[in-house]
Chain A
Amino acid sequence: MSFSKVEVRLTVNGTEYVRSVEPRYLLADFLRHELGLTGTHIGCEQGVCGACTVLLDGRTARSCLHFAVQVSGSEVTTIEGVSADESLKPIQDAFHHNHALQCGYCTPGFVMTTVEFLKDNPAPDEAAIRRGLTNNVCRCTGYVNIIKAVAEAADNMPGGEG
């Protein structure tokens, strides 16, 4: 049996890329190694920590739990794509103001999760924020400042409360 390479075609942050990779190549590795988009971090590689979270066709997905070939033809947004989008800047600003990161390893995953969370819940209370972030792990901050940041971002998003 041969494990020949397969063609993968992905639109990432609005740009189309075509690469040849092994079928076992994870989406996370594709983004980092083939495209050099190292903002997507890999923590556990088993779907638990959330550091590798991206938007796949507009919804959050663990990039360590998908093979690149499996999602060929899809649109992916990574943390690099969020920075370019001014309407999402309040999330990053709020993380910054509230000291919601220390080493920053988990931060891209938290930001991507927050992008979707605030779209689904434009005016969340603290309990909802805690539930929304429950599957992202941070080993530094103790979460308190992350929760504050998400609450502030909710207020400052276009169409938000504030």
Chain B
Amino acid sequence: MKPAPFEYVSPESEEEVLDLLHQHGDDARLLAGGQSLVPMLNLRIVQPEVIIDLGRCPSLAFISAENGTLVCGAMTRQMTAERSPAVRENCPLLAKALPYLGGTAHRNRGTVGGTLAHADRLAELPAVALALDAEFIARKSGSERMIAAADFFLTDLTTALEEGEMLHSIRLPRADGNHHTAFVEVGNRRHGFAIVGLAAALEIAADGTVAGARLAAMGVGAAPVRLHEAEQILVDGPAGDDTLRAAGEAAAQAIDPDDDIHASAVYRRRLTSTLVRRAVQEILGNEAGS
């Protein structure tokens, strides 16, 4: 199908973008890389009156690192981030998750801010943001605020961004201590929509035990979910398979996944349990080998 008609504007500065958003409110949609929005336009799932294209606003596309905190402008292309040494060095978990986002053609065009603001329940980066306590910088005409990742994702396709507000950038703070991360997912294809995915960040103590754990799953609910019970078990339990199994089991019990044509709720629970074990084993295995 073809999209319904719309008015198109392509502002070249952030001020103009925010003015236009203010002026048009909910009648307008921001177009970033378009890899999620354009299919919805083509299928006429959404029919905005105005499309505000961010593609000609260069100040929104940047990657910088300040004292280990990675700051990524909303219009940074996913492939640019994936290939950025600053991302690999300052935020390895983001670098590990990016190749899963879609095919090469999608990642060439899709943006970091676009996938986060779109907030599909099967998107990888929301789980990464949640696991890393990312901060979302939101701007509207004349003001700016910071939204914590835990408060940003409300439900499927819905974020805390208000009418007239735009995601400007995200900040990914560097974790202290001996931190290691893994991103794992299972889907029908190597890239593209997964069934369940998991972002894991562990702090490893000098004796090789888990001193801190942050786990966030996607595909198990309408928004990404932190797995607090499993994290606690990993930190409290003695090193070994029993603790891993218990953590996986706790993760499976803590979530409330849906049944759909891709997988049953039971399968999603078991998969989450498996992915918790897989991610932790991957991290501890690398740690032992390094």
Contact = CB atoms under 8 A, between A and B. Distances in A.
A complexed with B: yes
Nearest to A130: B190
A15 interface: no
Interface string A1-13: 1110010000000
A66 B104 contact: no
B7 to A, nearest CB: 6
B43 interface: yes
Interface in A94-151: 113, 116-117, 120, 130-132, 134-136
A116 B189 CA distance: 20
Nearest to B1: A45
A56 B109 contact: yes
B31 A134 contact: no
Nearest to A63: B105
A19 interface: no
Nearest to B108: A59
A65 B39 contact: yes
Nearest to A24: B3
A6 B108 contact: no
B8 A47 contact: no
Q: How large is the interface on A (under 10, 10 to 19, 20 to 34, 35 or more residues)?
A: 35 or more
A24 B6 contact: yes
Contacts of B2: 24, 26, 29, 45
B8 A69 contact: yes
Interface string B101-140: 0111110110000000000000000000000000000000
Interface stretch (B48-56, B176-184, B211-219, B271-279): B48-56
A50 to B, nearest CB: 7
A6 B6 CA distance: 12
B69 interface: no
Contacts of A1: 7, 49
B86 interface: no
A83 interface: no
B38 interface: yes
Interface in A26-66: 26, 29, 45-47, 50, 53, 56, 59-62, 64-66
Contacts of B4: 24
Nearest to B104: A60
Contact of B8 (A6, A117, A130): A6
17 contacts: A1-B49, A2-B7, A3-B6, A23-B6, A23-B7, A23-B51, A24-B5, A60-B105, A61-B109, A62-B105, A65-B106, A65-B109, A66-B109, A67-B8, A70-B10, A70-B34, A117-B104
Contacts of B5: 3, 22-24
A135 B109 contact: no
Contact of A70 (B53, B105, B108): B53
Nearest to B4: A24
A45 B43 CA distance: 9
A4 to B, nearest CB: 9
Contacts of B191: 131, 134-135
Given A1-B7, A22-B5, A50 B34 contact: no
Most buried by A among B5, B51, B102, B108: B108
